[in-house]
Structure 1
Amino acid sequence: MNLLLNLFTAFFKIGLFSIGGGYAVIPNIQEQVVTARGWISQKIFTDIITISQLTPGPLAVNTSTFVGVRIAGLPGAVLATLGCVISGICLSVTLYCLFGRYKKSRYVTEILKGLKSASLGLVVSAAVTILLLTFTGSSELNLHPDIDTGSIILFLLSMLLLRRKKTGPVFLMLLTGAAGLFL
């Protein structure tokens, strides 16, 4: 029962303090489930993020569901997801009411500008972590990394197909997943 309450609380915090949504939530989730609580390893976390990107729905909700099921089965999935969603709903309604009242305030404009910059920093941090894990198997920078050449080739081909050929993301994920079987 304690674990279920901890799952709910952790994902309530994640939902409450995940400014920017999308990839900006990854460092917050990582801090809660990998670093602070040690529920899963960095490798498993990266796998969960990858699977969460493949499934429909918001990244934070999908990730909370997958982490919850990994830690405590179906009850864990339900409570982690509820924690993430309930906090987001409460915060959104509160901010909507406040923003409607103070949207012309210079302070609100400046706060939003600062939050945009912080969100960008979180997204870049998440991207660097995922790149390091994909290319080296570690989220830490080190002087002599064990480079996974196959992953780098798939990454570069993916970028080429996305940018030049306008390949759809679903097809690209299926293609690179299949290619990963042979590398």
Structure 2
Amino acid sequence: MIIRLFLIFLKIGLFSFGGGYAMLPFIQNEIVNTWKWIDIDEFVNIIAVSQMTPGPIAVNSATYVGVKTAGFFGAVFSTLGVVIGSFVLVILISKKLETIKKTHILNNVFRGLRPTVIALITTAAYSVAKLSVKGIKDIIIIILVFILSYKYKLHPIILIIISAFIGVVLY
């Protein structure tokens, strides 16, 4: 199980672009759909906990899934799996980055990847919203937090505290 967790999260880390949010559809596909280690409701909870705790959401998610499925060593190897590929690639590429970053082809590659990353993040947001939004109260919280974030630029920690307070009051 520990080796399987490592290999799955290594694959996720190597073949997903755009950071943790873009990785969420990959994590969901592997952990919920393919291996069925957790159900979709728990996956949504993992995302919520991973978002609120310090660190990248993909690393936090990998750690949580590792603990859930194989204990401490599952967490260690899931976390290593999700970060080691990027770590090695960055080390290898960093020596050549200055010379290749000015190439026309590389710029076109990144221009092509940006819309894909947006689509992956949107897919993750839609999946979470579809399972989490259950009524008008949820929609009100979403709109309020969006306004407070976008218009008033409130810090995410403040938004989490406000949302928790509203949750206690409304539910």
- TM-score normalised according to structure 2 size: 0.91
- Structure 2 gap ranges (5+): none
Counterpart in the other structure of 2:147 = 160
State yes or no: 1:122 paired with 2:120: yes
Alignment check: 8 A CA contact 1:18 1:24 kept: yes
Where do 1:37-52 residues align within 5 Å? 37-52=35-50
Q: Distance in 2 between matches of 1:97 and 1:112?
A: 19
Q: In structure 2, which of residues 30, 36, 57 is the aligned counterpart of residue 59 of structure 1?
A: 57
Counterpart in the other structure of 2:20 = 22
How far does residue 93 in structure 1 lie from its aligned partner after superposition? 2.1
Counterpart in the other structure of 2:92 = 94
Percent of aligned positions that are identical: 37
Cα-to-partner distance string for 1:116-172 (whole Å, 9 max, x where unaligned): 11111111111111211111xxxxxxxxxxx42221111112112223333321121
- Provide closer, same or farther for how the CA distance between residues 166 and 115 of structure 1 changes in structure 2, counting only shifts above 3 A: closer
Q: Point out the more displaced range, 78-87 or 171-180.
A: 171-180
Q: Aligned residues, how many?
A: 170
- Provide closer, same or farther for how the CA distance between residues 104 and 159 of structure 1 changes in structure 2, counting only shifts above 3 A: closer
Where do 1:69-84 residues align within 5 Å? 69-84=67-82
Q: Distance in 2 between matches of 1:104 and 1:158?
A: 39
Q: Distance in 1 between matches of 2:68 and 2:165?
A: 25
Cα-to-partner distance string for 1:91-120 (whole Å, 9 max, x where unaligned): 222333443342232221211111111111
Amino acid aligned to 1:5: I
Q: Distance in 2 between matches of 1:101 and 1:69?
A: 42
How far does residue 174 in structure 1 lie from its aligned partner after superposition? 1.8
Alignment check: 8 A CA contact 1:134 1:148 kept: no
Helix, strand or coil at the partner of 1:150: helix
Helix, strand or coil at the partner of 1:165: coil
Counterpart in the other structure of 1:140 = none
Cα-to-partner distance string for 1:3-62 (whole Å, 9 max, x where unaligned): 111111111111111201031111111111111111111111111011111111111111
RMSD: 1.6
- Provide closer, same or farther for how the CA distance between residues 160 and 94 of structure 1 changes in structure 2, counting only shifts above 3 A: same
Q: Distance in 1 between matches of 2:104 and 2:163?
A: 47
- Provide closer, same or farther for how the CA distance between residues 95 and 118 of structure 1 changes in structure 2, counting only shifts above 3 A: farther
